[in-house]
Amino acid sequence: MKNRVYNFAAGPSMLADKVLNELHEEFFNYHDSGMAVMEMSHRSKGYLEIFEDAKARLKRIMEIPDDYEIFFMHGGATAQFAAVPMNLLKKKADYIITGNFSRKAAQEASKYGEVNIVYDGKENDYSRIPSSEELSLSEDADYVHLCSNNTIYGTEWKKYPDTGTIPLIADMSSDILSRRIDVSDFGLIYAGAQKNIGIAGIAVVIIRKDLIIEADPMTPQIMDYALTLKNDSMLNTPSTYAIYVLGKVLKWIEEVGGIKEIERRNIEKAGLLYDYLDSQSFYQPHAEKDSRSLMNVTFRTANEELDAKFVSETAKLGLCNLKGHRLVKGIRASIYNAMPIEGVKKLVEFMDEFARENG
């Protein structure tokens, strides 16, 4: 592909070349059907095969146990900020705030019931993940909610808290399928697809069957988990193309060796950046060492002018979208599954050159 850049955007973000090529090849004429996938009825045999294949691949790759359901829902992760409490918050829920999105999730939930903030890392500018001892979890919460990877701040849970019989709910929008996890540790996992598993338009929801209970009567049909199950995620027209792309991304993951290989690659890629950051003093990393994200690497130079110069010079070299989020400023390299190691190597080389020239 000519002029292809290394896109370090936080999401929507890179797709593997292999995935884009397959989408391209099948674009006008999907499997000799004479039509594009986006022209197909969601009830047609051809499309239902795509849909079932995506679900089966996700179940296989994540080793999702049989007592869980997989939903493809509308509205990205943000819709789940509301859907989770509308379906599951009967009395009280515990929320752990480690960044912007967990705060938004808690704010949304507080419209529907009592929200107990068990930790808020704002004093340390969300630069770390709390230890279990720092969490004052309730004994009678309907669930505990956390955000697995904080896209903006570049921190990630390494070991999830043990919540006993209280269901743990995780927003995995920015680290789903980046490393091995045990699905059975969670009551519910949700993720917007546009970072690690496809394009914008859907959220994947993985829910333990016993948590599919009667939703609050004011819940819109489209956000009701029991109705979603009853209609197999097709209560209305699903985001057909986004589900098709998800299937292609999952196929690519299986072809490269599954989640174990993806995790190995991610550790290697992030390691290059963090080892470099630890070897010098020109850049300061934002996240504390034991809380560092494999997906979003955040750091800054001595001042905002140099940060801006860094971003503009990298863009000229085809290393794009490295500007940090406005809440943290500085620089953020989002290195999701589809970012090749060559992109990270090129970035580290440039960082070193830039430090020598501007240090």
DSSP for 295-328, please give it: SEEEEE-SSHHHHHHHHHHHHHTTEE--BPPTTT
Q: Applying CB under 6 A, which part among 15-23, 71-79, 213-221, 233-241 lies near ligand PMP?
A: 71-79
Nearest to 187 by CA among 207, 212, 161, 165: 207
Alpha carbons 127 and 190: distance in angstroms, whole number: 23
Residue 222 binding ligand PMP, by CB under 6 A: no
Provide the β-strand partners of residue 117: 95
Q: Cβ(188)–Cβ(229) under 8 Å?
A: no
Q: Which of 12, 36, 64, 78 binds ligand PMP (CB under 6 A)?
A: 78
Of 155 and 314, CB closest to ligand PMP: 155
Of 54 and 79, CB closest to ligand PMP: 79
Q: Applying CB under 6 A, which part among 14-22, 74-82, 127-135, 212-220 lies near ligand PMP?
A: 74-82
For tokens 């705060």, name the residue: 103
H-type helices in the chain, by residue range? Answer: 17-25, 45-62, 76-88, 100-109, 225-230, 240-256, 258-278, 304-316, 341-358
Q: Cβ(346)–Cβ(271) under 8 Å?
A: no
> In the bound complex, what is the minimum distance in angstroms from residue 48's beta carbon to ligand PMP?
25
Q: Which of 163, 174, 196, 321 binds ligand PMP (CB under 6 A)?
A: 174
Q: Applying CB under 6 A, which part among 27-35, 170-178, 312-320, 334-342 lies near ligand PMP?
A: 170-178
Of 11 and 167, CB closest to ligand PMP: 11
> In the bound complex, what is the minimum distance in angstroms from residue 76's beta carbon to ligand PMP?
2
Nearest to 299 by CA among 342, 344, 334: 334
Alpha carbons 13 and 16: distance in angstroms, whole number: 10
Strands 114-120 and 92-97: parallel
Alpha carbons 40 and 270: distance in angstroms, whole number: 40
When computed from its CA atoms, the radius of gyration of the chain, rounded to whole angstroms, is 21
Residue 76 binding ligand PMP, by CB under 6 A: yes
Q: Which of 13, 155, 173, 298 binds ligand PMP (CB under 6 A)?
A: 173
Of 12 and 46, CB closest to ligand PMP: 12
Residue 314 binding ligand PMP, by CB under 6 A: no
Q: Which residues, other chains included, contact 215 with Cβ-Cβ below 8 Å and sequence gap of 6+? A: 86, 87, 223, 224, 225, 226
Q: Which of 7, 151, 239, 298 binds ligand PMP (CB under 6 A)?
A: 151
Binding mask 86-105 for ligand PMP (x = CB under 6 A): ---------------x----
Q: Applying CB under 6 A, which part among 13-21, 46-54, 76-84, 262-270 lies near ligand PMP?
A: 76-84
Q: Applying CB under 6 A, which part among 129-137, 166-174, 180-188, 308-316 lies near ligand PMP?
A: 166-174
> What are the C-alpha distances in Å from 178 to residues 173, 263, 295, 321?
11, 6, 8, 20
For tokens 């990205």, name the residue: 76
Residue 306 binding ligand PMP, by CB under 6 A: no
For Cα atoms 99, 7, 266, give the angle at the middle one, nearest 5 degrees: 65
Distance from first CA to last CA of the chain, Å, rounded? Answer: 36
Residue 121 binding ligand PMP, by CB under 6 A: no
Quote the crossing angle between the two packed helices 258-278 and 45-62, to the nearest 10°: 60
> In the bound complex, what is the minimum distance in angstroms from residue 280's beta carbon to ligand PMP?
28
> In the bound complex, what is the minimum distance in angstroms from residue 203's beta carbon to ligand PMP?
6
Residue 77 binding ligand PMP, by CB under 6 A: yes
Residue 192 binding ligand PMP, by CB under 6 A: yes
Q: Applying CB under 6 A, which part among 30-38, 54-62, 167-175, 253-261 lies near ligand PMP?
A: 167-175
Of 191 and 306, CB closest to ligand PMP: 191
> In the bound complex, what is the minimum distance in angstroms from residue 97's beta carbon to ligand PMP?
12
Tell me the number of residues near ligand PMP by CB under 6 A.
11
Q: Which residues contribute to the site for ligand PMP (CB under 6 A)?
A: 11, 76-78, 101, 147, 151, 171, 173-174, 192
